[in-house]
Structure 1
Amino acid sequence: MLKHICFIPPYAYPKEGFSHGGIGSFTKSYLPDLVNRGFKVTLIEFNKKESVKIIEGITIIHLKRSKIRGISWFLNALKINNKLKEIHNEHPIDIVESAELGLAFIKKRTNIKYIIRLHGGHHFFAESENRKINIWKGFQEKRSFKKSNGFIAVSNYVKKHTNFFLSYHNKPIEVIPSTVNFKLFTPKRDVVINENVILFAGRLCEKKGIKNLILAMPLILEKYPSMELHIYGKDSFKESRSYMRFLLEEIIPQIGLAKKNVIFKGEIPIEELVNRYASSKICVFPSYMETQGLVVIEAMAMKKGVIFSKYGPGVEVINQYVNGLLCDPYDIKSIANEVLWMLDNPESLKNIEEKALETITKNYNLDNIANRNINFYLNLLSQ
């Protein structure tokens, strides 16, 4: 009987009042539900100091991360293994779950099943970001995959694309998307919509397609001169260079007078971002590569018109002109054309918004997703 599930780094539980990405959204929506279903849930994460907290019924164990150059990986792995041993002796663990690199240095026990959930690993994103495989990270990922007893992929796309680079070693694998926090992401009927706002949310980096969305603004403004692009997200760095600085210094000057219609809003708490979703006219996420695109289903759950990428998992979520639109994120005209179509067709946009909510409610509801995960765990334990 499945009783105790333990999640290990890179999993972490989002802090209240802070923004978080896809893995944070996954833990925030999924782990409390497991607790409500009667499971013991433990999450181990690294922090500045050691502590143990109970949040929403989840036992969250903070380990102090080692930063000793050259051997920090060994010391951190030792800390996780020692903690797993301690936890298992007190409350036997049935399932240990991590992401792609997470099992590389984990010492396995015969009475525990180990699972990797594919959120998008090093090989997956290295290709999309046009960078070489880091030998050390590549080694860890391959080693981690060999240790896993089974795999869960958050989309068909991440399952197939990861398999180009890494083997699943004939272990069980199932596609189960991450769910939405429906308590947070829900239609807000009392919010006034700003008809002139296009919203983008996500980390500021090349793969999110924000550069081409900015470059598409002059084409949009030719017909709708009052439209504004509001950009929410955390800056990122590539080779010590700020991507925000790159956008401001090299991309914004290319759009001339349209620059006054592009507004960087920075990183804001998730609860505040929800209100920004609600008050925007449409949401545009022209990513070059995603594993699932949680921001997309979160916006759709709020009954918003969404434009996503036609590449990657986009076609698994959006049916073109039915519950959303798909663009070519590499093509500035394609991005502009889909935005203009939404603005030109208000009645069709209303229908799309209705279908968007219907799609997410039906296909990404927490009860269904949780049951599929639990069944996968149980089938693995029976083997």
Structure 2
Amino acid sequence: MHICFLTNEFPKEGFPHGGIGSFVKTLGAALVKEGVEVSVVGLNYISLNEFEKIDGISVYRLKKSSVKGLSWYLNSIAISKKIKEIHSQNSIDIVEASELGFAFIKKIKKIKYVIRMHGGHHFFAESENRGINKWKGFQEKKSFKKCDAFIAVSQYVKLHTEKYLSLDNKPVGYISNPINTDFFKPIQENEVENRIVFAGTVCEKKGIRQLIQAFPFVKNEFPNATLEVYGRDWFFSDGSSYMQMLKDIELPQLGAIREDIHFKGAVSYLDIPNAYSQAEVCVFPSHMETQGLVAPEAMAMEKTVVFTKLGPGPEAITDHETGLLCDPHNPKNIAEKIIWTFSNKKESETIGKKAREFVLQKYSLKSIVLQNVDFYKKIIPNNSHN
């Protein structure tokens, strides 16, 4: 079986990458271990065509077109050509992309095309109460019509995507994103008392502003509390920094306690477990997620996690059993959950242990890989590949 993933985000040293890139790297390497051939095709971070083999995955990075107004078209042609070239040398069974991925890709008859719903344009437009961008909306609809099957990373993402886009009774699999539980495992000796850790893009939809507003309530009860913020900055359409906005507008209102909020910036994937391990509580008050990777990663490390009660939050956490759920729009509620964790250390420890057990059961890499292989086999014609 040969799977080809389309993504421009496959991790490359020295360049920031998104969650989909990490997901493809984790799943791809695990598929290779199961005897599946894996290729990745996407646009490069630099102006070169490059090929490398990473963890058994063949990674093709294509030079981006710089022709104004036509780059989207020329990039799609380049990706389509590369798929055709790889297919002619070593036939591809499945090409997988996220929601917009197939809009301008030329289909090859014998290949099945799968969209994995990580949360596309229509999904996030609804969750953020904003209008549909006509161009992006058009691409997504076109892409959905072209594909042969779907994989949803949560029930929630499927329900809210199909409000806007027809799945045309095509096969749908429900498969969570995997967590590498050998990589994310308990490191107890690093924990720092009353340390709060946030990880994720520093932007409005991740709830970091409300977490900062919650911090004074926590400090009233636990004066030595600190907040460590790990993640890359997000930029407004005028190019201004969201992180700088927080420092200019939110932090000055906190007085002296702002000194206990530390922006660590983007960290390497390899350093994330170390960041989580120092937390007494990990807090991710996202306004919206499709599944979210950070919550189960921290849960796998036996951390008490405060996660959003919205969207798929209840699919990931049973409140006060495997973690805590908060109202991400309510700073006082976020603070109450953090204060409860600091005040109930024994119960928090039990929650952390149950959290890891749950992650091992629902998100373990081995189980997720086999679910993917089974789904791929179902949609390959005549199920002719092992």
TM-score (norm 2): 0.95
Instruction: Tell me whether 1:337 sits opposite 2:343 in the alignment.
Output: no
Instruction: Tell me whether 1:31 sits opposite 2:28 in the alignment.
Output: yes
Instruction: Tell me whether 1:218 sits opposite 2:216 in the alignment.
Output: yes
Distance, in Å, in 2 between the alignment partners of 1:192 and 1:78 is 49
Distance, in Å, in 2 between the alignment partners of 1:304 and 1:16 is 28
Which residue, 19, 22, 26 being the options, matches 1:22? 19
Distance, in Å, in 1 between the alignment partners of 2:162 and 2:33 is 34
1:159-174 alignment to 2 at 5 Å? 159-174=158-173
Superposed CA offset, 1:1-55 (max 9, x none): xx11111134x32135766432122112110111111111110121121021111
Distance, in Å, in 1 between the alignment partners of 2:330 and 2:297 is 25
Distance, in Å, in 1 between the alignment partners of 2:233 and 2:203 is 7
Match of 1:126 in 2: 125
Residue type of the alignment partner of 2:293: L
Residue type of the alignment partner of 2:139: Q
| SS across alignment from 1:75 | helix
Larger deviation: 132-141 or 201-210? 132-141
Is the 2:214–2:331 Cα contact (8 Å) retained in structure 1?
yes
Distance 1:368 1:309, change over 3 A: same
Match of 1:328 in 2: 327
Match of 2:197 in 1: 199
Larger deviation: 253-262 or 346-355? 253-262
Is the 1:17–1:271 Cα contact (8 Å) retained in structure 2?
no
Distance, in Å, in 2 between the alignment partners of 1:21 and 1:89 is 30
Distance, in Å, in 1 between the alignment partners of 2:266 and 2:88 is 41
Distance, in Å, in 2 between the alignment partners of 1:73 and 1:234 is 26
Provide the aligned C-alpha RMSD in A. Answer: 1.4
1:166 is displaced (CA, Å) by 1.2
Distance, in Å, in 2 between the alignment partners of 1:366 and 1:179 is 5
| SS across alignment from 1:290 | coil
Instruction: Tell me whether 1:298 sits opposite 2:297 in the alignment.
Output: yes
Is the 1:8–1:96 Cα contact (8 Å) retained in structure 2?
yes
Distance, in Å, in 2 between the alignment partners of 1:21 and 1:298 is 15
The alignment covers a number of residue pairs equal to 379
Is the 1:129–1:206 Cα contact (8 Å) retained in structure 2?
no
Distance, in Å, in 2 between the alignment partners of 1:261 and 1:89 is 57
Distance, in Å, in 2 between the alignment partners of 1:58 and 1:116 is 20
Is the 2:281–2:304 Cα contact (8 Å) retained in structure 1?
yes
Match of 2:242 in 1: 243
Match of 2:373 in 1: 374
Is the 2:99–2:118 Cα contact (8 Å) retained in structure 1?
yes
Match of 2:2 in 1: 4
Match of 2:105 in 1: 106
Is the 1:278–1:302 Cα contact (8 Å) retained in structure 2?
yes
Is the 2:10–2:17 Cα contact (8 Å) retained in structure 1?
no
TM-score (norm 1): 0.96
